[in-house]
Structure 1
Amino acid sequence: MTSDRAPITVDDLYQLGWLEDPRVSPDGRAVAYVRVTVDKGANRYRRAIWLAPLDGGAPRRFTAGTSSDTQPRWSPDGRWLAFISDRGGQQPQLFIIRRDGGEARCITSLPRGVSDPVWSPDGCRIALLSRVSAADREREDRGEAEPPPEDELDRRHAEERRAREEERRIDPRVISRLPYRSGVAYYDGRYSHIYVVDVPADDSAEPGAPRRVTDGDTHFGPPSWAADGRSLLTTVTRDPELDTLIGYDDVVRVPLVDEGRAEPVRLTSAGFSYAGVQVGPDGRYAAVMRRPDVQPLFAGSHLALIALDEPEAGERVIPLTDGADRDVESFRWLPGGAGLAFVAGWRGEAPVYGVSLDNPLRASDGALHSTAAPAASDRLEEIVPGNGRIVTEFDVAPDGSVVFIAGDAGNPCDLYVRRPDGSETRLTAVNDALLSQRLIAPVEEFVFSAPDGREVQGWVVRPPDFDPARTYPLAVQIHGGPHVMWGPGFRSMWHELQAMAARGYVVFFCNPRGSDGYGVAWRSAVYRAWDSAAADILAGIDALIAQGGIDPQRIGGTGGSYGGYMTAWLIGNS
């Protein structure tokens, strides 16, 4: 090895940072985003909010990030930034800070914390979510809600008291319904409800108490304000008693009244489950992602519009992308409400696509379970081309520029802006200091044939000092899901793949049957055939061995979730 650069090490994980949640300011001049770093000594991640000018100037830290500052949200006039923080060891609460700087101000003190803030159109209120139990709601309705802490000591005592009460509540833990946990987290009998808080008019005004505007033993999703500010659009669990980890949610309108709470108005019905409501710029439509109730994970997610002025639920829903063989991951409105931009994985990349309201990508037969890519996919426009990248999050500026976070084979994460004329600028250099000192192993695409002749896409990462005259151990990485798509720019695996190659392994990974990113037929191939991905993985291993350079006596497999299941299956069956 003649390079002055050193190979990637396991400990480099502590130096690698990444970015989250970009939000463009209303004037289109700056983007707020979250920068994540690793605190090795405290064994935790820390998150700070940064600002970057879209003209390519130097980014600057906007919050201290001594704990976790997340979810930056601009006020409509761009003068304020709201965000969520657990600073001081408290439950995550809502803070606001002036764009021109100053001290951040906490304006909530809800016992279980808050999330998903969104400003009202006039900038006077913020709606958000907080988890509460039936007993919590009863206390609120009796006017017995906890008062805001008088000082830091009072806040710490309140946190300690709640922690003790929670320990007593779950000792013993009584299981009365299924499912009772997700992963290692137990369901705690609390439900996400929407609160609205008045924003203080000036620095001397005291914040008002958040007011809960929903009720019941059911989960409400992140809210979106109606254009007139008189109601909120959100989703709600259709059947809270359903014994499933998969939510079946409808879109509802929550009217805002001066006293008490109004009953939500349901805007959709059974047949599809909805998520991620966003009201459009002119208020006529709300955009939403939806999955069919039948085999929702196999069918994937598509975009639809909810016509907010239609009286009948069945007439309100307008499909937009059900003819495009893509699984929508996230979306944003385009300027003026002319259409939507969305991210969807495709063949190891995740571009940003666009769809016009005037030219929707509909299936000719209205079917979502087509076994072939519908013709509408041919009309997909890439607003941000893949080019070997995986876009994880993005936002759209008033002039149509797209600010996005993406990773590729040589760089796990950075922030970019792509302008309407097609020019791009990298706005950050998050890991340049480290990567400039490291040997980055190249990632090579490796396409092979499965036993039935179907093409499978994979990749190979060889050691930086790979010698074709030698043989190397093979590490087979298997993704979870199985409805997940890996590619060279998959951020959470970037370091692990590079570190294994640097230790002398040839690393192989692929997207076998059941993976996302290759259409509904590929994703559905594991339906009632959970082990069918094994033949694809084994075919890839054989094809790689045939190329040479692999020691067939030293092959290891690893994976998490479904990847762990498949690893165990391969060990026991091959």
Structure 2
Amino acid sequence: MPTKSAVKNAVKRPLTAEDLYTLQLVEDPQISPSGSHVAFVKVTTDKLQNKYKRNIWLADLTGKAPRVRQFTSGDKLDHSPRWSPDGQTLAFVSARNDAPRAQIYLIGLSGGEARPITSMPNGAANPVWSPDGKRLAFLSRLNAEERANEDSGKEEPPPQTDLEAKHRKEIREDKEKKKADPRAITRFPFRTGTEFFDDRFSHIYVMDAPAEGETAKPRRLSDGDMNFNEIEWSPDGKSIYSIQSRDPDYDPWHQQDVVRFSSTGKRKSFVWVTKTDRDYFNIKASPDGKWLATLRHPRTGSYGQSVHLAILPAKGGPARDLTLKLDRQVEAIHWSSDSKSLYLQAGDHGNVEIYRVTISGGDPVKVIGERRMVTGFTVSESETVAFVASSPERPADVYVRRNRKEERLTDFNKKLLDEVHVAQAEDVSFTAHDGRPIQGWVLKPIGFKKGKKYPLAVNMHGGPHVMWGPAMPSMWLEWQLHAARGYAVFYCNPRGSDGYGSEFSSIITGDWGSDVMRDILTGVETVAALGFVDSKRMALTGGSYAGYMTAWIVSHDNRFACAWSQRGLYNVISMYGVSDIPWFTEREFDVTMPYDALDKCWGQSPLAYVRNIKTPLAIEHQENDYRCPVSEAEQLYTALKRLKREVVFYRYPREGHEMSRSGEPQHRVDRLNRMVGWFDRYCKKKRTVD
């Protein structure tokens, strides 16, 4: 008689691209101050409406077993839950009741109807409670005219009728349309994501936390044509810290220092707290008020240099790095309740883990590890840690660690995971041509049989300073789909990747292509030597920097049966003038401007070698991608068509650089099916390598 597990396994099916519609994700875990509850956001996909829904869920940890329930509901985008200091109220952001802009809402721990506390004309975001729970700070966007009207006390009276409200709305919409026809551009950069910047900037507001049935008027702390995107209260509630560039007109995303506002003062001005050769971000004040913790990164040189955790005296003084010995990219930080140590999130050798480091120095100690990727965490006063993590078998779940024990709180994908086969990621490490160890992984195809040979899908990560691992949440569905369609899947962290130290990550400065290609091809040969890969049936793919690498490799090597290049850059010179991050080219290729180093930058462009491309190539790009604009793909496609090469160009309207991770659901499914269909066309038949 077969066992129950054997019968259960026998009826499992291969995963499909359409399973994206049923995949449920979690994000933004927020533990209450006492550690009694965890609020988090659950993300689901609405296939019919072709959009995502976000609702807040609550885990009650006070009983013998955690109890998880939905806390907000409906066809809404509820996000950014934040606990009041007494743990009795959640502030969150939502667009509901047909409101044109998202506003901040409050809801009690016992539930009930959420009530809006802001009605900002351009919306409100990022609510942060004051330490005593009596006030909230938040962000809202305004232009110079709106700030001037606000400062002068000119407030439009509320409409008296629905017709008047409709008329005002039409006037506002017409005014906004005229601003963009034509656009008068003076900002730099002038666009990002999928949109052009308008004339509005993000500013800090403070308001009293209104009781039920009451209202409160927000007061703006900041001013000027500059963005403030962080809020951190001092423990005494007298100050608010943020980040600002010292050159907001020409370099707003760099030269970033910590600034301080008075939370009660009438002047809309700030004081600089730091002034060094580092860019600062993610400020956290210690509970005892003595220290500021922050992340910082060198202002010059490769972006592969490690981001370090530093502390500085709140009353002024030099900063001190705490993670030099760790030498990894620190991604998030939280103080311990006694102000003597900090928890931090960092990637290492394919995993993203949580460490603890004391302010007195010493090596960071790993608190939460294993073969997975942590994507967010918070810490309670009792130092219970709530976190979201993915594993090779599970795309995302909420966990808590308390009393040295760990519990998983969610299992939203149980039905799907019970239905489908899940391929396991196996370690495949190898040695590069210069002796460097390179870490990689391989997934065997579903239904793998020893002695049989399979096609191989080679996946590469972008960045270039990014780290992949066996639990990569953004790639879980894609890799599992390839394995379900009969492909072995290989990926690795070649030189230039994060997770192995600054030297390893920065070594590709000025030369993005040659040695990275050698690392990847050495990995491919290592996997082929395992005996189950048909080397004549291999596909290559990657996005962004890995789109660059896809074009680079097929212009220097003909071993792949086909390739699929995603949202790539192919001309380093033209990329500089059209991307929203031109300084990236300056620092990564060590040039003042590409126009001053044409030979160097052209030699680093895959387009320079386009005549060598013989591999059938699919070029995927998004029409509103302002990171690697679609003109990059147009150049590569045009050249290949003029050369009469086998090429197809897929353009996705309305989408930006993040389409594969957060674009319209139907586009994401379409992309997955087209990609694996392209692979099948060339890899599911015999082929002779040229």
TM-score normalised to structure 1 length: 0.91
Q: How far apart are the structure 2 equivalents of 1:149 and 1:565?
A: 54
Corresponding position of 2:470: 488
Alpha-carbon spacing, 1:507–1:43, altered in 2? closer, same or farther (3 Å):
same
Alpha-carbon spacing, 1:125–1:170, altered in 2? closer, same or farther (3 Å):
same
Corresponding position of 2:620: none
Alpha-carbon spacing, 1:159–1:340, altered in 2? closer, same or farther (3 Å):
farther
Deviations 1:356-391 (A, max 9, x none): 112x25xxxxxxxxxxxxxxxxx3311112x10101
Corresponding position of 2:147: 137
1:178 to 177, 188, 199: 188
Corresponding position of 2:491: 509
Q: How far apart are the structure 2 equivalents of 1:130 and 1:151?
A: 27
- 1:346-357 aligned at under 5 Å gives the runs 346-357=348-359
Whether the 8 Å contact between 1:479 and 1:563 is mirrored in structure 2 is yes
Corresponding position of 1:456: 438
Alpha-carbon spacing, 1:452–1:155, altered in 2? closer, same or farther (3 Å):
farther
- 1:185-224 aligned at under 5 Å gives the runs 185-200=195-210, 202-205=211-214, 207-224=215-232
Q: Following TM superposition, by how much is the alpha carbon of 1:454 offset from its aligned partner in structure 2, in angstroms?
A: 1.3
- 1:26-37 aligned at under 5 Å gives the runs 26-37=33-44
Q: What letter matches 1:540 in structure 2?
A: G
Corresponding position of 1:556: 539
Q: What letter matches 1:218 in structure 2?
A: M
Deviations 1:102-123 (A, max 9, x none): 1111111112212211011221
Secondary structure of 1:435's counterpart equals helix
Corresponding position of 2:296: 290
Q: Following TM superposition, by how much is the alpha carbon of 1:65 offset from its aligned partner in structure 2, in angstroms?
A: 4.6
Alpha-carbon spacing, 1:495–1:322, altered in 2? closer, same or farther (3 Å):
same
Q: How far apart are the structure 2 equivalents of 1:332 and 1:204?
A: 34
Q: Following TM superposition, by how much is the alpha carbon of 1:34 offset from its aligned partner in structure 2, in angstroms?
A: 0.6
Whether the 8 Å contact between 2:323 and 2:364 is mirrored in structure 1 is no
Whether the 8 Å contact between 2:127 and 2:136 is mirrored in structure 1 is yes
Size of the alignment, in residue pairs? 546
Q: How far apart are the structure 1 equivalents of 2:169 and 2:348?
A: 46
Alpha-carbon spacing, 1:148–1:283, altered in 2? closer, same or farther (3 Å):
farther
Corresponding position of 1:545: 528
Which sits farther off after the overlay, 102-111 or 47-56? Answer: 47-56
Gaps in structure 2 of 5+ consecutive residues:
1-5, 558-690
2:307 to 301, 306, 315: 301
Q: What letter matches 1:81 in structure 2?
A: L
Q: How far apart are the structure 2 equivalents of 1:393 and 1:151?
A: 46
Secondary structure of 1:336's counterpart equals coil
Whether the 8 Å contact between 1:270 and 1:293 is mirrored in structure 2 is no
Corresponding position of 1:403: 386
Whether the 8 Å contact between 2:254 and 2:299 is mirrored in structure 1 is no
Secondary structure of 2:216's counterpart equals coil
Alpha-carbon spacing, 1:404–1:254, altered in 2? closer, same or farther (3 Å):
same
1:95 to 93, 105, 113: 105
Whether the 8 Å contact between 2:295 and 2:308 is mirrored in structure 1 is yes
Alpha-carbon spacing, 1:163–1:445, altered in 2? closer, same or farther (3 Å):
farther
Whether the 8 Å contact between 1:220 and 1:237 is mirrored in structure 2 is no
1:82 to 84, 91, 106: 91
Q: How far apart are the structure 1 equivalents of 2:468 and 2:439?
A: 10
Q: Following TM superposition, by how much is the alpha carbon of 1:537 offset from its aligned partner in structure 2, in angstroms?
A: 0.8
Q: Following TM superposition, by how much is the alpha carbon of 1:7 offset from its aligned partner in structure 2, in angstroms?
A: 1.4
Corresponding position of 1:11: 18
Q: How far apart are the structure 2 equivalents of 1:104 and 1:63?
A: 8
Alpha-carbon spacing, 1:214–1:410, altered in 2? closer, same or farther (3 Å):
same
- 1:53-452 aligned at under 5 Å gives the runs 53-54=60-61, 56-87=65-96, 88-146=98-156, 161-200=171-210, 202-205=211-214, 207-243=215-251, 246-257=253-264, 260-295=266-301, 297-310=303-316, 315-358=317-360, 360-361=361-362, 379-385=363-369, 387-421=370-404, 423-452=405-434
Corresponding position of 1:475: 457
Q: How far apart are the structure 1 equivalents of 2:269 and 2:532?
A: 67
Q: How far apart are the structure 2 equivalents of 1:225 and 1:291?
A: 23
Q: What letter matches 2:132 in structure 1?
A: D
TM-score normalised to structure 2 length: 0.76
Identity of aligned residues (%): 43
Secondary structure of 1:405's counterpart equals strand
Q: What letter matches 1:317 in structure 2?
A: A
2:511 to 497, 509, 529: 529
Secondary structure of 2:59's counterpart equals strand
Q: What letter matches 1:192 in structure 2?
A: S
Corresponding position of 1:38: 45
Secondary structure of 2:554's counterpart equals helix
Q: How far apart are the structure 2 equivalents of 1:455 and 1:124?
A: 54
Secondary structure of 2:113's counterpart equals coil
Q: Following TM superposition, by how much is the alpha carbon of 1:243 offset from its aligned partner in structure 2, in angstroms?
A: 4.4
Q: Following TM superposition, by how much is the alpha carbon of 1:568 offset from its aligned partner in structure 2, in angstroms?
A: 1.2
Deviations 1:329-356 (A, max 9, x none): 1111112212110110000101100001
Q: How far apart are the structure 2 equivalents of 1:539 and 1:145?
A: 66
Deviations 1:65-109 (A, max 9, x none): 521101101111112110000123521110001111111111111
Whether the 8 Å contact between 1:252 and 1:267 is mirrored in structure 2 is yes
Q: Following TM superposition, by how much is the alpha carbon of 1:187 offset from its aligned partner in structure 2, in angstroms?
A: 2.0
Whether the 8 Å contact between 1:90 and 1:159 is mirrored in structure 2 is no
Q: What letter matches 1:407 in structure 2?
A: S
Q: What letter matches 2:511 in structure 1?
A: A
Secondary structure of 1:121's counterpart equals coil
Whether the 8 Å contact between 1:109 and 1:149 is mirrored in structure 2 is no
Greater Rg by CA: 2
Whether the 8 Å contact between 1:227 and 1:281 is mirrored in structure 2 is yes
Q: What letter matches 1:388 in structure 2?
A: R
Q: How far apart are the structure 2 equivalents of 1:176 and 1:221?
A: 21
Whether the 8 Å contact between 1:139 and 1:145 is mirrored in structure 2 is yes
Secondary structure of 1:329's counterpart equals strand
Corresponding position of 2:685: none
Q: Following TM superposition, by how much is the alpha carbon of 1:186 offset from its aligned partner in structure 2, in angstroms?
A: 1.6
Secondary structure of 1:335's counterpart equals coil
Q: Which is helix-richer, 1 or 2?
A: 2
Whether the 8 Å contact between 1:256 and 1:262 is mirrored in structure 2 is no
* Corresponding position: 1:568 with 2:577: no
Q: What letter matches 1:343 in structure 2?
A: Q
Whether the 8 Å contact between 2:456 and 2:537 is mirrored in structure 1 is yes
Whether the 8 Å contact between 2:304 and 2:498 is mirrored in structure 1 is no
